[in-house]
Amino acid sequence: MATPFGVGLIEELRSKLAAAGIGRHERLHHDLWHTIYFAEAAATIQRRVDPKHRPYGDVGGYYPKVPIEAAIVLPRWELYLAGKLDRATLLGQLVAEAALIDARRRH
């Protein structure tokens, strides 16, 4: 969805995944952007409410349910939030990793 600020990161990721052949109805597609939601929610609570907040992805058991996607997203999301990855690089890395996993799953 476009906003006055442009296309949101999640929507841009979803478009790039689809362009890479990872369809919107595939689990990998869904779990990647969904993991970003969990990571961003935790980071926001830690920054603005409680620095000791434990991410629901950990305590609620979400990340263990999506270990591949969590391994792709979490370290890169931390770098992105720290300003060590720009948006284009983040998205490029996420899509490249997803494409590798998708190719392995198909063969």
Per-residue pLDDT of the chain (107 residues; tens, 9 = 90+): 444 556 699 999 999 999 999 999 999 999 999 999 999 999 999 999 999 999 999 999 999 999 999 999 999 999 999 999 999 999 999 999 999 999 988 87
pTM greater than 0.75: yes
Which contacts (CB < 8 Å, 24+ apart) does range 51-55 have?
A: none
**Domain, as residue range, for 47:** 2-106
Number of domains observed in the structure of the chain: 1
CA atoms within 13 A on the CB side of 106: 10
Residue 104: how many other CB atoms lie within 10 Å? 8
Position 105 scores a pLDDT of 85
DSSP letters spanning 75-105: HHHHHHHTTSS-HHHHHHHHHHHHHHHHHHH
Q: Are 74 and 58 in contact (CB under 8 A)?
A: no
